[in-house]
Amino acid sequence: MVDLSVRIAGVEFPNPVIAASGTYGNGECYTDLYPLSKLGGVSCKGMTIEPKLGNPPPRIAETYSGILNSVGLQNIGVHGFIEYYLPTLKEEGNVIIANVAGATIDDYIAAAEALDASDIDMIELNISCPNVKQGGASWGVSCEGAAAVMSAVRRATKKPLIVKLTPNVTDITSIAKAVEAEGADCISLINTLLGMRIDINSRRPILKNNMGGMSGPAVFPVAVRMVWQCFNAVKIPIIGMGGISTWEDAIEMMLAGATAIQMGTAIFTDPYAPLKVIEGIEEYMDKNGIKSLSEIVGQVKPW
């Protein structure tokens, strides 16, 4: 029997496949298809301390081997999540990761404090949000911004903290090291790549927000590269994501250095994709005599 379980910051996952934030809602659309407990965990829809309407439509645009989105973090707020979604998720028996976003440090602190008193298992910090006090640049594009969020939230909660890194930077490892130094228990990467599509007839951007985050299979090689770079730069665990569609992708990401993986865009075309990946990983391990996933994490052999 192979062991699919993984441990991250003291939290035990039954398998390494986690539904990615923003693509799985809070699991409510999938409970009629299969028990959510079949997954390793669920990273819930990104939430802010106050409810948010999100961006005006169109908010989704297709592109080659992926999609662009500018949903804009539409959500019912942290307290709404705790009241309406969390009880149902707890009944499913999942590892529950609350994804948190904010425009100011105080936003992150307030969200973390509220979640600290709840039954969630981990908090994932989305630092790709605009820092409104610094001209709208993402918190995660500078070591200083990323470290500031991490340091503040670390003091606000005892929950294990994952920091979700943006790929829209020149050196991903410096950001990873900055949040590790401030007490991050884990990093997850990559978030979406900034992109744009234009309607050639109207000559306007397809997205009302002009630009959006690109996800899907096209970004997978970028994600693998960044996970590998971070694995060689920090000592904390990594959750890899970005274009993972098959079990082969998942194994590749783990060889690059990911302890667990998140799946998102692939679920839009096949809601059973995570279950197929779990099954494929198990068969791969059995075929290759691998007893524990720890045997392959970071085991790529560079030339």
C-alpha distances in angstroms, 50 versus 75, 103, 120? 8, 11, 18
Arithmetic mean of pLDDT, 213-224: 97
129 catalytic, yes or no?
yes
CATH number of 6-295, picked from 3.90.400.10, 3.40.50.970, 3.40.50.2300, 3.20.20.70: 3.20.20.70
Q: How many CB atoms lie within 10 A of CB 283?
A: 12
pLDDT (tens digit per residue) in 57-80: 999 999 999 999 999 999 999 999
pLDDT (tens digit per residue) in 260-272: 999 999 999 999 9
pLDDT (tens digit per residue) in 21-67: 999 999 999 999 999 999 999 999 999 999 999 999 999 999 999 99
Please check whether residue 236 is in contact with residue 255, taking contact to mean a CB–CB distance below 8 angstroms. Answer: no
CA-based nearest residue to 38, from 20, 22, 14? 14
Within 13 Å of residue 236, how many CA atoms lie on the same side as its CB?
A: 22
Please check whether residue 216 is in contact with residue 223, taking contact to mean a CB–CB distance below 8 angstroms. Answer: no
Place of tokens 């667990």: 260
Is this structure's pTM higher than 0.95?
Answer: yes
C-alpha distances in angstroms, 243 versus 137, 249, 268, 285? 25, 8, 12, 22
Our measurement of the distance from residue 241's CA atom to the centroid of its chain's CA atoms, rounded to an integer in Å, reads 7
CA–CA distance, 231 with 299 (Å, rounded to integer): 11
Place of tokens 């970005």: 242
User: What integer best gives the mean pLDDT of the chain?
Assistant: 95
Answer whether residue 276 shows pLDDT above 80. yes
pLDDT (tens digit per residue) in 118-151: 999 999 999 987 665 666 678 999 999 999 999 9
Please tell me which residue in 44, 129, 186, 230 is annotated as part of the active site: 129
